Homo-oligomer: A and B are copies of this chain.
Amino acid sequence: MTPLAKLLEAALFASARPVSVEELSALEPEASSGELTAALDEVRLHYDTEGHGVELVEIGGGWQILTRAEYTEAIERAQLAARPQRLSAAALETLALIAYRQPIGRAEVEEIRGVNVGSVLKSLHERGLIDVVGRAEGLGRPLLYGTTPLFLEHFALRHLEELPRADELAIALRHHADARVDGIALTAEGDGASDGIQPG
């Protein structure tokens, strides 16, 4: 492709929204509008004739590179199928606290865990493992969280009382000795802190 077409491709790739021809002209003030249009055509044609998975489309008064529609289904399926998700150490500890201390507010969880748990609570909530179960008394009436029926279902529990009491944990854990119990291994890989849930 010509230098101007390459520049347009890079700019369109990096932009979060469709870009108008006027905006594109700011990229290369020397270029005439005819040259710009020709370069856009060049990008569009290149994508169409050289066998690419993307295409250049005019949309909402601007130009944008989009994934070809025929691939979107496969991409969505792959994102799902990639791996079952594991909870990060942060999400797991937060869930553990909520299970044993419910109803519990965000401030109390943060005090115990020592870090901000906003995004973790959000992802556990999206996962359907916790829900808002009430509001505390006091300033701002903070939300209180508890576990959901889906939480019980996931662990094949009929009710919360089937979880071992805190003082029986050591014994309960010995029964589950076959499982890995080191906290570090739980998060050695995955999607980072922004999101509590990660592929494992």
Listed in ascending order, the chain A residues whose CB lies under 8 Å from chain B are 1-2, 5-11, 13-16, 19-20, 22-24, 26-28, 46, 50-54, 61, 65, 67-68, 71-72, 74-75, 77-83, 88-90, 103, 113-116, 122, 125-126, 128-135, 143-144, 146, 148-150, 182-184, 187-194, 199
Oligomeric state, in copies: 2
**Chain A interface mostly helix, strand, loop or mixed?**
mixed
Are B27 and A75 touching (Cβ within 8 A)? yes
Are B149 and A26 touching (Cβ within 8 A)? no
Partner of A23, one of B53, B79, B115: B79
Are A187 and B9 touching (Cβ within 8 A)? no
A74: chain B residues within 8 A (beta carbon): 7, 11, 27-28
A113 to chain B, nearest CB (A): 8
